[in-house]
Protein backbone atom coordinates (compact mmCIF):
# COMPACT_ATOMS: atom_id res chain seq x y z
CA UNK A 1 0.00 0.00 0.00
CA UNK A 2 1.11 3.58 -0.61
CA UNK A 3 0.73 6.15 2.14
CA UNK A 4 -2.30 7.52 0.30
CA UNK A 5 -3.80 4.03 0.19
CA UNK A 6 -3.29 3.71 3.94
CA UNK A 7 -5.02 7.02 4.62
CA UNK A 8 -7.99 6.17 2.41
CA UNK A 9 -8.32 2.69 3.95
CA UNK A 10 -8.29 4.19 7.44
CA UNK A 11 -10.99 6.65 6.38
CA UNK A 12 -13.11 3.73 5.14
CA UNK A 13 -12.64 2.18 8.60
CA UNK A 14 -10.69 -0.69 7.08
CA UNK A 15 -7.42 -2.07 8.43
CA UNK A 16 -4.44 -0.81 6.40
CA UNK A 17 -1.16 -2.74 6.36
CA UNK A 18 0.17 -0.13 8.79
CA UNK A 19 -1.45 2.82 10.53
CA UNK A 20 -0.92 6.05 8.56
CA UNK A 21 0.83 8.84 10.43
CA UNK A 22 1.83 12.48 10.22
CA UNK A 23 4.36 14.39 12.35
CA UNK A 24 4.64 18.18 12.39
CA UNK A 25 7.02 20.38 14.39
CA UNK A 26 7.16 23.85 15.86
CA UNK A 27 10.25 25.88 14.97
CA UNK A 28 12.08 25.13 18.27
CA UNK A 29 11.34 21.39 18.10
CA UNK A 30 12.43 21.18 14.46
CA UNK A 31 15.72 22.90 15.33
CA UNK A 32 16.39 20.54 18.24
CA UNK A 33 15.64 17.43 16.18
CA UNK A 34 17.87 18.59 13.33
CA UNK A 35 20.67 18.91 15.88
CA UNK A 36 19.78 15.56 17.49
CA UNK A 37 19.91 13.70 14.17
CA UNK A 38 22.72 15.85 12.77
CA UNK A 39 20.52 16.24 9.70
CA UNK A 40 18.69 19.47 8.80
CA UNK A 41 16.69 17.52 6.18
CA UNK A 42 15.46 14.84 8.59
CA UNK A 43 11.78 15.66 7.93
CA UNK A 44 12.08 14.47 4.34
CA UNK A 45 12.69 10.95 5.64
CA UNK A 46 9.89 10.74 8.21
CA UNK A 47 7.44 8.89 5.96
CA UNK A 48 4.53 11.27 6.57
CA UNK A 49 1.38 10.28 4.70
CA UNK A 50 0.19 13.73 3.63
CA UNK A 51 1.13 16.43 1.16
CA UNK A 52 -0.02 19.73 2.64
CA UNK A 53 -1.36 22.49 0.39
CA UNK A 54 -2.10 26.06 1.53
CA UNK A 55 -4.69 28.15 -0.37
CA UNK A 56 -2.75 31.41 -0.19
CA UNK A 57 -0.98 33.45 -2.87
CA UNK A 58 2.79 32.85 -2.83
CA UNK A 59 4.38 34.81 0.00
CA UNK A 60 1.04 36.19 1.20
CA UNK A 61 0.29 33.83 4.06
CA UNK A 62 2.62 35.79 6.34
CA UNK A 63 4.98 38.67 5.61
CA UNK A 64 7.40 40.24 8.08
CA UNK A 65 6.54 43.95 8.19
CA UNK A 66 8.71 44.89 11.18
CA UNK A 67 11.26 42.90 13.16
CA UNK A 68 9.29 39.95 14.63
CA UNK A 69 5.96 41.47 13.50
CA UNK A 70 4.26 39.49 10.73
CA UNK A 71 1.12 40.38 8.77
CA UNK A 72 -1.22 37.83 7.24
CA UNK A 73 -3.17 38.40 4.03
CA UNK A 74 -6.09 39.99 5.92
CA UNK A 75 -3.75 42.57 7.48
CA UNK A 76 -3.80 40.97 10.94
CA UNK A 77 -0.46 41.57 12.65
CA UNK A 78 1.21 38.86 14.70
CA UNK A 79 3.87 39.64 17.30
CA UNK A 80 6.44 36.82 17.19
CA UNK A 81 8.95 38.13 19.68
CA UNK A 82 8.20 35.09 21.90
CA UNK A 83 6.14 32.62 19.85
CA UNK A 84 8.08 32.17 16.62
CA UNK A 85 5.49 29.91 14.97
CA UNK A 86 2.27 31.96 15.02
CA UNK A 87 2.58 34.86 17.43
CA UNK A 88 0.08 37.05 19.26
CA UNK A 89 -2.37 39.35 17.47
CA UNK A 90 -1.41 42.97 18.10
CA UNK A 91 -3.94 44.98 16.08
CA UNK A 92 -7.71 45.17 15.57
CA UNK A 93 -9.14 45.65 12.10
CA UNK A 94 -12.91 45.04 12.23
CA UNK A 95 -15.55 46.81 14.32
CA UNK A 96 -19.35 47.06 14.08
CA UNK A 97 -18.84 50.26 12.08
CA UNK A 98 -16.80 48.70 9.24
CA UNK A 99 -17.85 45.04 9.31
CA UNK A 100 -19.81 45.28 6.06
CA UNK A 101 -17.15 47.11 4.02
CA UNK A 102 -13.80 45.93 5.41
CA UNK A 103 -11.85 44.63 2.41
CA UNK A 104 -11.28 40.88 2.39
CA UNK A 105 -8.63 39.22 0.21
CA UNK A 106 -9.75 37.81 -3.12
CA UNK A 107 -10.59 34.10 -2.70
CA UNK A 108 -10.72 33.67 -6.49
CA UNK A 109 -7.15 34.82 -7.11
CA UNK A 110 -5.68 32.01 -9.28
CA UNK A 111 -2.32 32.46 -7.58
CA UNK A 112 -3.76 30.82 -4.47
CA UNK A 113 -4.09 27.50 -6.25
CA UNK A 114 -1.51 27.63 -9.05
CA UNK A 115 0.95 25.30 -7.29
CA UNK A 116 -1.62 22.63 -6.44
CA UNK A 117 -1.50 20.52 -9.60
CA UNK A 118 2.30 20.29 -9.74
CA UNK A 119 2.62 19.57 -6.02
CA UNK A 120 0.00 16.82 -6.14
CA UNK A 121 1.60 15.29 -9.24
CA UNK A 122 5.00 15.29 -7.51
CA UNK A 123 3.61 13.35 -4.52
CA UNK A 124 1.25 10.73 -5.98
CA UNK A 125 1.79 8.30 -3.09
CA UNK A 126 0.62 10.76 -0.42
CA UNK A 127 -2.85 12.04 0.43
CA UNK A 128 -3.33 15.62 -0.76
CA UNK A 129 -4.62 17.82 2.06
CA UNK A 130 -5.66 21.47 1.67
CA UNK A 131 -5.45 23.31 4.98
CA UNK A 132 -7.42 26.51 5.64
CA UNK A 133 -6.40 27.79 9.05
CA UNK A 134 -8.21 30.41 11.13
CA UNK A 135 -11.28 29.39 9.22
CA UNK A 136 -14.29 30.78 11.11
CA UNK A 137 -14.29 31.66 14.82
CA UNK A 138 -10.52 32.12 14.78
CA UNK A 139 -10.65 34.40 11.75
CA UNK A 140 -13.39 36.40 13.48
CA UNK A 141 -11.42 37.00 16.65
CA UNK A 142 -8.16 37.70 14.83
CA UNK A 143 -9.97 40.47 12.96
CA UNK A 144 -12.13 41.86 15.76
CA UNK A 145 -10.56 40.69 19.03
CA UNK A 146 -11.33 37.61 21.13
CA UNK A 147 -13.21 39.49 23.86
CA UNK A 148 -15.20 41.49 21.35
CA UNK A 149 -16.37 38.44 19.41
CA UNK A 150 -17.35 36.52 22.54
CA UNK A 151 -19.23 39.55 23.91
CA UNK A 152 -20.93 40.06 20.54
CA UNK A 153 -22.24 36.49 20.66
CA UNK A 154 -23.98 37.41 23.90
CA UNK A 155 -24.90 41.05 23.35
CA UNK A 156 -24.38 42.27 19.76
CA UNK A 157 -25.64 39.37 17.69
CA UNK A 158 -26.05 41.44 14.52
CA UNK A 159 -22.33 42.20 14.52
CA UNK A 160 -21.42 38.58 15.27
CA UNK A 161 -23.62 37.25 12.47
CA UNK A 162 -22.42 39.86 9.98
CA UNK A 163 -18.76 39.13 10.63
CA UNK A 164 -19.16 35.36 10.54
CA UNK A 165 -21.25 35.55 7.37
CA UNK A 166 -18.54 37.48 5.56
CA UNK A 167 -15.96 34.92 6.64
CA UNK A 168 -18.23 32.09 5.54
CA UNK A 169 -18.65 33.68 2.11
CA UNK A 170 -14.86 33.89 1.73
CA UNK A 171 -14.40 30.29 2.91
CA UNK A 172 -17.00 28.88 0.54
CA UNK A 173 -15.23 30.54 -2.38
CA UNK A 174 -11.89 29.04 -1.28
CA UNK A 175 -13.51 25.61 -0.97
CA UNK A 176 -15.01 25.89 -4.45
CA UNK A 177 -11.67 26.77 -6.03
CA UNK A 178 -9.52 24.34 -4.03
CA UNK A 179 -11.85 21.38 -4.50
CA UNK A 180 -11.70 21.80 -8.26
CA UNK A 181 -8.24 20.20 -7.96
CA UNK A 182 -7.43 16.51 -7.38
CA UNK A 183 -7.24 16.83 -3.61
CA UNK A 184 -8.32 14.22 -1.08
CA UNK A 185 -9.00 16.20 2.08
CA UNK A 186 -10.05 19.75 2.96
CA UNK A 187 -8.95 20.68 6.49
CA UNK A 188 -10.44 23.48 8.56
CA UNK A 189 -8.43 24.90 11.46
CA UNK A 190 -10.69 26.53 14.04
CA UNK A 191 -10.04 26.19 17.77
CA UNK A 192 -13.23 26.33 19.84
CA UNK A 193 -12.05 24.68 23.05
CA UNK A 194 -9.88 24.97 26.10
CA UNK A 195 -8.88 22.26 28.55
CA UNK A 196 -12.31 22.09 30.21
CA UNK A 197 -14.80 22.74 27.45
CA UNK A 198 -15.98 25.04 24.68
CA UNK A 199 -14.83 28.65 24.91
CA UNK A 200 -18.29 30.00 24.09
CA UNK A 201 -20.27 27.06 25.49
CA UNK A 202 -22.39 24.64 23.46
CA UNK A 203 -25.46 26.88 23.16
CA UNK A 204 -23.63 29.77 21.52
CA UNK A 205 -21.55 27.37 19.45
CA UNK A 206 -24.71 25.82 18.03
CA UNK A 207 -26.16 29.27 17.35
CA UNK A 208 -23.20 30.93 15.66
CA UNK A 209 -20.70 28.28 14.56
CA UNK A 210 -22.58 25.10 13.76
CA UNK A 211 -24.75 26.35 10.84
CA UNK A 212 -21.73 27.85 9.12
CA UNK A 213 -19.49 24.86 9.78
CA UNK A 214 -22.26 22.67 8.38
CA UNK A 215 -22.33 24.79 5.22
CA UNK A 216 -18.55 24.47 4.80
CA UNK A 217 -18.56 20.70 5.29
CA UNK A 218 -21.39 20.24 2.82
CA UNK A 219 -19.58 22.39 0.25
CA UNK A 220 -16.55 20.10 0.52
CA UNK A 221 -18.70 16.97 0.31
CA UNK A 222 -20.50 18.30 -2.77
CA UNK A 223 -17.14 17.87 -4.53
CA UNK A 224 -16.68 14.34 -3.22
CA UNK A 225 -13.82 15.34 -0.90
CA UNK A 226 -13.12 14.41 2.73
CA UNK A 227 -13.70 16.91 5.55
CA UNK A 228 -11.28 17.40 8.42
CA UNK A 229 -11.34 19.67 11.46
CA UNK A 230 -8.43 20.73 13.62
CA UNK A 231 -9.97 22.00 16.87
CA UNK A 232 -7.97 22.12 20.08
CA UNK A 233 -9.51 21.56 23.49
CA UNK A 234 -12.23 19.53 25.14
CA UNK A 235 -15.01 19.66 22.56
CA UNK A 236 -16.23 16.05 22.60
CA UNK A 237 -19.68 17.17 23.80
CA UNK A 238 -20.35 18.40 20.26
CA UNK A 239 -19.08 15.31 18.42
CA UNK A 240 -22.68 14.31 17.53
CA UNK A 241 -23.13 17.81 16.04
CA UNK A 242 -19.91 17.50 14.06
CA UNK A 243 -20.99 14.16 12.66
CA UNK A 244 -24.33 15.72 11.73
CA UNK A 245 -22.47 18.53 9.94
CA UNK A 246 -20.62 16.00 7.80
CA UNK A 247 -17.22 15.86 9.47
CA UNK A 248 -15.02 12.88 8.56
CA UNK A 249 -11.73 13.45 10.48
CA UNK A 250 -11.23 15.04 13.88
CA UNK A 251 -7.87 16.37 15.06
CA UNK A 252 -5.92 16.83 17.38
CA UNK A 253 -7.59 14.17 19.59
CA UNK A 254 -5.93 15.33 22.82
CA UNK A 255 -5.46 12.60 25.46
CA UNK A 256 -5.18 15.27 28.18
CA UNK A 257 -8.79 16.40 27.70
CA UNK A 258 -10.58 13.28 26.45
CA UNK A 259 -10.31 9.52 26.90
CA UNK A 260 -9.11 8.68 23.40
CA UNK A 261 -9.92 4.99 23.76
CA UNK A 262 -13.46 5.61 24.95
CA UNK A 263 -13.96 8.25 22.24
CA UNK A 264 -12.89 5.74 19.57
CA UNK A 265 -15.35 3.16 20.96
CA UNK A 266 -18.17 5.72 21.05
CA UNK A 267 -17.67 7.60 17.78
CA UNK A 268 -15.29 5.40 15.81
CA UNK A 269 -17.94 4.25 13.36
CA UNK A 270 -18.56 7.82 12.23
CA UNK A 271 -15.27 9.68 12.71
CA UNK A 272 -11.63 9.04 11.96
CA UNK A 273 -9.30 10.38 14.64
CA UNK A 274 -5.99 12.06 13.87
CA UNK A 275 -3.57 12.70 16.75
CA UNK A 276 -3.64 11.14 20.20
CA UNK A 277 0.07 11.11 21.11
CA UNK A 278 0.50 13.33 24.17
CA UNK A 279 2.53 16.51 23.70
CA UNK A 280 1.61 17.85 27.15
CA UNK A 281 2.70 14.83 29.18
CA UNK A 282 4.46 11.97 27.45
CA UNK A 283 6.72 13.60 24.85
CA UNK A 284 8.09 16.27 27.22
CA UNK A 285 8.04 14.37 30.54
CA UNK A 286 7.81 10.63 29.84
CA UNK A 287 10.59 8.10 29.47
CA UNK A 288 11.57 6.61 26.14
CA UNK A 289 9.84 3.36 27.13
CA UNK A 290 6.66 5.20 28.12
CA UNK A 291 6.62 6.88 24.72
CA UNK A 292 7.05 3.55 22.94
CA UNK A 293 4.31 1.94 25.02
CA UNK A 294 1.86 4.81 24.45
CA UNK A 295 2.39 4.91 20.70
CA UNK A 296 2.12 1.12 20.35
CA UNK A 297 -1.12 1.04 22.37
CA UNK A 298 -2.63 3.76 20.19
CA UNK A 299 -1.67 1.89 17.02
CA UNK A 300 -3.01 -1.42 18.35
CA UNK A 301 -6.22 -0.21 20.01
CA UNK A 302 -7.32 3.04 18.36
CA UNK A 303 -5.87 1.91 15.03
CA UNK A 304 -7.75 -1.39 15.01
CA UNK A 305 -10.02 -1.64 11.95
CA UNK A 306 -8.92 1.75 10.67
CA UNK A 307 -10.37 5.08 11.68
CA UNK A 308 -7.05 6.37 13.02
CA UNK A 309 -4.16 8.50 11.77
CA UNK A 310 -1.33 8.48 14.30
CA UNK A 311 0.16 11.83 15.17
CA UNK A 312 1.24 13.99 18.08
CA UNK A 313 -1.77 15.89 19.37
CA UNK A 314 -0.39 19.10 17.89
CA UNK A 315 2.80 20.36 16.25
CA UNK A 316 5.53 19.09 18.57
CA UNK A 317 6.56 21.84 21.03
CA UNK A 318 10.07 22.85 21.90
CA UNK A 319 10.04 21.23 25.34
CA UNK A 320 9.53 17.71 23.97
CA UNK A 321 12.62 15.58 24.62
CA UNK A 322 14.48 14.71 21.40
CA UNK A 323 15.02 11.10 22.50
CA UNK A 324 11.27 10.76 23.08
CA UNK A 325 10.46 12.19 19.67
CA UNK A 326 12.96 9.79 18.11
CA UNK A 327 11.35 6.87 19.96
CA UNK A 328 7.91 7.86 18.66
CA UNK A 329 9.25 8.11 15.11
CA UNK A 330 10.93 4.71 15.41
CA UNK A 331 7.70 2.99 16.51
CA UNK A 332 5.69 4.62 13.73
CA UNK A 333 8.26 3.75 11.06
CA UNK A 334 8.72 0.19 12.31
CA UNK A 335 5.13 -0.97 11.94
Q: Alpha-carbon distance 161 to 34, whole Å?
A: 46
Q: Alpha-carbon distance 201 to 181, whole Å?
A: 36
Q: Is the pLDDT of residue 254 over 90?
A: yes
Q: Is the pLDDT of residue 117 over 90?
A: yes
| 13-39 confidence digits (pLDDT tens) | 999 999 999 999 999 999 999 999 999
What is the pLDDT at residue 84? Answer: 87
Q: Identify whether the C-beta of residue 251 lies closer than 8 Å to the C-beta of residue 296.
A: no
Q: Identify whether the C-beta of residue 90 lies closer than 8 Å to the C-beta of residue 77.
A: yes
What's the number of domains the chain is made of? Answer: 1
pLDDT confidence bin for 223, thresholds 50/70/90: very high
Q: Alpha-carbon distance 209 to 247, whole Å?
A: 14
| 277-331 confidence digits (pLDDT tens) | 999 999 999 999 999 999 999 999 999 999 999 999 999 999 999 999 999 999 9
| Helix (H), strand (E), coil (C) string for 52-93 | EECCCCCCCCEEEEECCEEEECCCCEEECCCCCCCCEECCCC
Average pLDDT over residues 182-210: 97
Mean predicted lDDT score pLDDT of the chain: 97
Handedness of CA 229, 135, 58, 143 (dihedral sign): negative
Q: What is the CATH number of the domain that holds 145?
A: 3.20.20.210
Q: Is the pLDDT of residue 61 over 90?
A: no
What's CA 276's distance to the chain center, in Å?
13
Q: 250 is in which domain, residue-wise?
A: 3-333
pTM flag (> 0.75): yes
What is the pLDDT at residue 139? Answer: 98
Q: Alpha-carbon distance 121 to 126, whole Å?
A: 10
Q: Is the pLDDT of residue 59 over 90?
A: no
Q: Alpha-carbon distance 68 to 38, whole Å?
A: 28
Q: Alpha-carbon distance 175 to 232, whole Å?
A: 22
E-only strand ranges, 150-209: 185-189, 193-194, 197-198
* Region of residue 172 (left: phi > 0; alpha: psi -120 to 50; beta: else): alpha
Amino acid sequence: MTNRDRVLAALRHQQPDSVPYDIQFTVPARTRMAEYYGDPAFESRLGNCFTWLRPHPPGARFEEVKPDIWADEFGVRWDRHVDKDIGVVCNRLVTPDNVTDFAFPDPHDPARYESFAATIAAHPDEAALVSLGFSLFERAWTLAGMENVLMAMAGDVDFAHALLDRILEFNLAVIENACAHEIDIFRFGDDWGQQRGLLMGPELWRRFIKPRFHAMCQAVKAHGKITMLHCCGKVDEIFPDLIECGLDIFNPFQPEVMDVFDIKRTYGNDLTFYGGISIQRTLPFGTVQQVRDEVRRLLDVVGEQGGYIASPSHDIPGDARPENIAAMIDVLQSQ
